[in-house]
Chains A and B, each alone.
Chain A
Amino acid sequence: MKKTEFLTGSFIALTLVVLLGVFFFQALFQPSYEGKVMPIDNVNLKDRVSLHYVLKNVNDASKYLATNGMRYFNNRSSVPSKTITFGKTKNLEEGSANEVTSIVVNYRGFDTLGEVTVLFISIIGLTMLIGGVKEKKLRMPSVIVRTGSKFLFPFILLFGVYIFIHGHLTPGGGFPGGAVIASGFLLLLLGLENFKFNTTVSKVIESLAGVTFVGIGLVGLFMKNSFLANFIPTGTIGFLYSAGMVALIYIVVGIKVGAELSTGVAELKEGNKND
């Protein structure tokens, strides 16, 4: 690229970025419909999200809105909900303590199925592109790095499994759990001198996990007439055995994402040997 083209291109890009920046920042200081200016750090949650999400129990919210809907906009301090206490309330409509999980897996579970499919297709594309790449040898790592990697790998794996098993209680879920597992395998690839990652086994595990996801949805279809319905009784909120099939789906998604990303990284390092 010549110098004049580079300068005009960067000037146009800088102008666009400044315009977008002005637009974004003035959106933060817009007044709410009551005439108050709302700064960023004391956000009133009931002003920003819809009523259904705050009550977390869609049947109650529909009944409330049917009886006194317009009064919500004027009298917002009196939003009733059943008092939900952590560790005691049983058999809610969807019993997970983490709000993001309840949206991602239960109320919008079909979109998560689409997201998992997109990840699957991108890893297939990566594997097809690494057709003729040969392996380049890395320099042999020193004795400190070799010992350290072998010692640290089980703890990283344990941390990843902890993240996706407690997906309905603490922040996290299936996707960061799988990414941490893949980082553990990346540490082994770089830190030991001859580590062969068996890509055949990991591809089989990934495919089986994807089939299990759709299988859980089909069981919900046969038992409750709706794909990906929650057919296991939701127990007490805050316990590990709560939230029905949300926990099962996050375990499946965590295993699938972990196997996928490890396969992608290992194929980039070693090249595809199937010819």
Chain B
Amino acid sequence: MFIIGIILITIGVIFSTLGALGLVRMPDLYNRLQTSTKATTLGAFSTIIGVGFLNPAWLIKTIVIATFILLTAPISSHNLARASHKWGIPLSDKTSVDKYDSKTGKEE
């Protein structure tokens, strides 16, 4: 139990650090949103479940919290990307295709 908790917390810390690194090095808003959301969601999820394994009395509460984070973080980043495309924040100059541009005119 103890060893599984330590391994999960280490994985969580590594992925959170990689997410922060991606926030600095990516060229564009949309790339930054994608990398930081994916990496930090996994990092937070692993850390919280690792704490649940270290104290087995809290295991069910930590699973509930981690499921809530897993459900809400991708929805919020999707909405951020959609809103910033409407306000016209430019894509980086290395992008070749913009598939969302033709759909901005009509509502889904």
A and B touch in the complex (CB under 8 A): yes
Query: Which candidate, A36-44, A143-151, A201-209, A223-231, is the interface stretch facing chain B?
Result: A143-151
Which of B3-11, B20-28, B50-58, B70-78 interfaces with chain A? B70-78
Q: Is A140 an interface residue (CB 8 A)?
A: yes
B75 touches A143 (CB 8 A): no
Give every chain A residue within 8 A of B107 (Cβ-Cβ). 139-140
CB distance from A145 to the nearest CB of B (A): 6
A118 to chain B, nearest CB (A): 33
Q: How far is the CA of A72 from the CA of B11 in the complex (A)?
A: 52
A151 to B67, CA, bound (A): 13
Q: Could you tell me if A155 and B68 are in contact, using CB atoms closer than 8 angstroms?
A: yes
Give the CA-CA distance A143 to B78 in the complex, in Å. Answer: 11
Taken residue by residue from 212 to 242, chain A's Cβ proximity to chain B (1 for < 8 Å, 0 otherwise) reads as 0000000000000000000000000000000
* A129 interfacial contact with B, CB 8 Å: no
Partner of A152, one of B71, B78, B79: B71
The answer to whether the Cβ of A142 comes within 8 Å of any Cβ in the partner chain is yes
Docked-complex contact A145 and B86, CB < 8 angstroms: no
Pair B75/A139 contact, Cβ less than 8 Å: no
Provide the bound-state CA to CA distance between A164 and B18, in Å. Answer: 39
- Measured CA separation A141–B71 after assembly (Å): 18
A144 to B74, CA, bound (A): 10
Query: Which residue of the partner chain, among A139, A141, A142, A152, contacts B72 with CB atoms under 8 Å?
Result: A152
Q: A152 to B67, alpha carbons, bound, how many Å?
A: 12
Q: Is B98 an interface residue (CB 8 A)?
A: no
Chain B residues positioned under 8 Å from A145 (CB to CB): 75, 78-79
Considering only CB atoms, which chain A residue lies closest to B71 in the complex?
A152
User: Distance in Å from the Cβ of A250 to the closest Cβ of chain B?
Assistant: 22
Chain B contacts with A in 73-106, Cβ cutoff 8 A: 75, 78-79, 82, 86
- Please name 14 pairs of A and B residues whose Cβ atoms are closer than 8 Å in the assembled complex, sorted by A: A139-B86, A139-B107, A140-B107, A140-B108, A141-B79, A142-B82, A142-B108, A143-B108, A145-B79, A148-B71, A148-B72, A151-B71, A152-B71, A152-B72
Q: A139-B86, A145-B75, A145-B78 are in contact. List 5 more A-B contacts (CB 8 A).
A: A140-B107, A142-B78, A142-B82, A144-B78, A148-B72
- Chain B contact residues, CB within 8 Å of chain A: 68, 71-72, 75, 78-79, 82, 86, 107-108
Interface residues of A (CB under 8 A from B): 139-145, 148, 151-152, 155
Give me the 10 closest cross-chain CB pairs, A-B, nearest first: A148-B75, A140-B107, A144-B78, A145-B79, A142-B108, A144-B75, A145-B75, A142-B82, A143-B108, A152-B71
